[in-house]
Amino acid sequence: MTSDRTSWMLVDHDVPQEEPILRRLAALILTTATLTACGQSEGSQDPLQVAETLEAAKPAHSPAQNGTPPGEIKPGGTFQDGGTTLKFQVNGKDVELDRLRSAVFEMTKDDKGAETRGAGLRAGDGATNAVADRYGRLLVVDTRGGEFIAFSINPLIMRQRYPVPGSPYGIAYDAKRDIAWITLTERNEVVGLNVAAGEPAEKYRFSTVRQPNTVSVDQESGRVTVTSGDNGGIQVISP
């Protein structure tokens, strides 16, 4: 938008001869200031920081339940959010998910042997949770962007990006069946994606207890446990 405005300002022939020079100078200053502002936040040299004030994404406030969800439901359900940085071991590398910057980083060592961040990639608009799979990837949910994103590690490359509308938040991985289970807090649902192929494919979808903030899976039986974050119950599903 800035470039269009600048071009318009430079092609103005209905002014005295002295004014085009001043207009060109003003346009150059405006363009430079705009590009600088778009490139980074004030006071920050971090290329992955796109906002002056960083805030981790939160699960959506779930609507009231519509009917009785399937499976066995026990009373209870509480929730404690994780910190702003989640740590993982993937493909022999230490990896961090920075929830404030919505970015994945490979960890490395500096010249003094201290752990520091190496290569980093943006993980959507508001990544919140992740889990490692058996293929050496980090499976990430982008809560703000409504997406599932898979990164291979060492080297760090984005491999898959798949839409999962409904404010995805909790994630668990069934390594025996290659199913990534993702809760959708905006819809009171849990979806199971087969992640073994080149592109994820939806295999399961169930309604859940209200506010399904967390999910886990039994690696032997494949049973999925969804836990409400607001005392809405603990649900066990056998797909």
Distance CA 190, CA 181 (A): 7
Residues 6+ apart with CB under 8 A from 161: 147, 148, 149, 150
Measured CA to CA, the distance from residue 130 to residue 13 in angstroms comes to 58
- The values of phi and psi at residue 137, to 5°, are -120, 155
Are 104 and 139 contacting, i.e. CB atoms less than 8 angstroms apart?
A: no
**pTM exceeds 0.85, yes or no:** no
User: What distance in Å separates the CA atoms of residue 162 and residue 206, rounded to the nearest whole number?
Assistant: 19
Phi, psi of 109 (to 5 degrees): -115, 140
Per-residue pLDDT of the chain (239 residues; tens, 9 = 90+): 444 433 333 334 343 444 544 454 444 333 333 333 333 444 456 766 656 778 999 999 999 988 899 999 999 999 988 899 999 999 999 999 999 999 999 999 888 888 899 999 999 999 999 999 999 999 999 999 999 999 999 999 999 999 999 999 999 999 999 999 999 999 999 999 999 999 999 999 999 999 999 999 999 999 999 999 999 999 999 99
Read off the tokens for 163. 């839409």
Beta-bridged to residue 74, according to DSSP, are 234
Those residues whose C-beta lies under 8 Å from the C-beta of residue 194, and which sit 6 or more positions away, are 178, 179, 200, 201, 202, 203
Q: Tokens in use for 221?
A: 């039986």
Tell me, what's the pLDDT at 81? 86
Amino acid at 219: Q
CA distances from 179 to 113, 145, 224 (A): 38, 21, 11
